[in-house]
Amino acid sequence: MKIAMVGSGYVGLVSGACFADFGHEVVCIDTDQGKIDRLEEGIMPIYEPGLEQLVATNVSAGRLSFSTDLAKGIDGAGAIFIAVGTPSRRGDGHADLSYVHEVARQVGENLSGNAVVVTKSTVPVGTGDAVERILKDSGTEHRVSVVSNPEFLREGAAIGDFKRPDRIVIGVEDDFGRDVMREVYRPLFLNESPILFTSRRTSELIKYAANAFLATKITFINEMADLCEKVGANVQDVARGIGMDNRIGSKFLHAGPGYGGSCFPKDTLALIKTAEDAGSPTRIVEAVVQVNDSRKRAMGRKVIEALGGTEEARGKKAALLGLTFKPNTDDMRDSPSIAIVQALVDAGVEVAAFDPEGMEQAAPLLPHVTMCEDPYAAIKDADVVVIATEWDAFRALDLARVKQLANKPVMVDLRNIYHPDDMRAAGFEYTGVGRS
């Protein structure tokens, strides 16, 4: 089947490359000519492990191509995916659907035959209805089925998530759409991946509910970490103890500086706004957003305390190891490091940083930070070393070298990748999260 993927960002590019690897003919479409030119040269717009090779393999095989011409790209496509951004709208937190609506309008005006239009972007409940209206208003005479097919890709593990999914959710209102989507995902049917067919509105809500629940788990364990510090308990043991309960599960129970990234911050806000508009407020999710926002800044205060407090911290240097919101990505969107840096800079602390993949993205967001070529360059003459992202490159630092380079052997480990006893034995003044 020919598949058109409108939008060649994170979701569109990964999904398009994986569909091509299944044997479909895929064209990824984007309005950014520069991005398309770079993709045709094999230059990826994002960092995702394995993506560059996956794209190269399928381009070479003739199954994957790139274009800025939407009309040509969707010509003959049995499934047209909308995978454009839905950022938080400035001023009110609602999802900005202008890109989705514009793609729907252009698709309707350029359809050359019957097709299924699939919303892959994360969108509020009822967006599929709006897309359907836009397609009808465009005057197309072809048969069109509008389907919801949310993505559940983790940055840093997206290819594996796509090919070996926990579940595939498809919101569809007619047999035509159902039959086409079965053919699209037929390779995963053969792998017996769980596929859940629902109504379109249910599918749209599943995506938001899933992300809000995971954000809640993260925020819950972070609050337990604060309590552990007050009462002398260990949050890692608490997480293990509750995570062994199958009803709770162990994932997303790692205490840290708060959640960030492209999904959780905007999706929790959008869910809150959708619920308010429906007259059914989500008080738990509202609290999650408030607590998470406060936590990021609180992690900056934790570093300042390790420097001796507000007065002592002024004029000192912090080495920040990790900038992206998680490892194995270059994504800086809503990364906790942004709020941490701001708190440090406001306190008069000089910040030097290193991240294996995120410094190019981080530089314009953090103009007061000195970007360094490796972790040890950042650590040189630092008064505190801060682990902000749990990259593997930071898990086995040469501690003797760290002590030699730093002004003081002080570490604030916001990801708990080191053991307190080991660090103290190595001569460090060590502070973790949720461990007394």
Which amino acid belongs to residue 213?
F
Give the SS3 label for residue 26.
Answer: strand
Residues with active-site annotation? 263
Q: Which of 43, 115, 110, 118 is nearest to 82 (CA)?
A: 118
Q: Using alpha carbons, list the distances in angstroms from residue 375 to 303, 341, 354.
A: 18, 17, 6
Q: What angle do CA 344, 347, 353 make, to 5 degrees?
A: 25
In eight-state DSSP terms, residue 419 is -
Give the SS3 label for residue 88.
Answer: strand
Cα atoms in the Cβ-side hemisphere of radius 13 Å centred on 389: 29
Task: Report whether 1 contacts 24 (CB < 8 A).
Answer: yes
How far is 333 from 361, CA to CA, in rounded Å? Answer: 9
Q: Which of 317, 215, 200, 305 is nearest to 256 (CA)?
A: 215
Judge residue 231's burial from the number of C-beta atoms within 10 Å of its C-beta, 0-12 exposed, 13-18 middle, 19 or more buried: exposed
Give the SS3 label for residue 354.
Answer: strand
E strand map for 61-143: 64-67, 79-82, 115-119
Task: Report whether 123 contacts 295 (CB < 8 A).
Answer: no
How far is 254 from 290, CA to CA, in rounded Å? Answer: 19
- Mutual orientation of helices 200-231 and 264-277 as an angle, nearest 10°? 120
Backbone angles phi, psi at 16, to 5 degrees: -60, -45
Q: Which of 257, 256, 266 is nearest to 289 (CA)?
A: 266
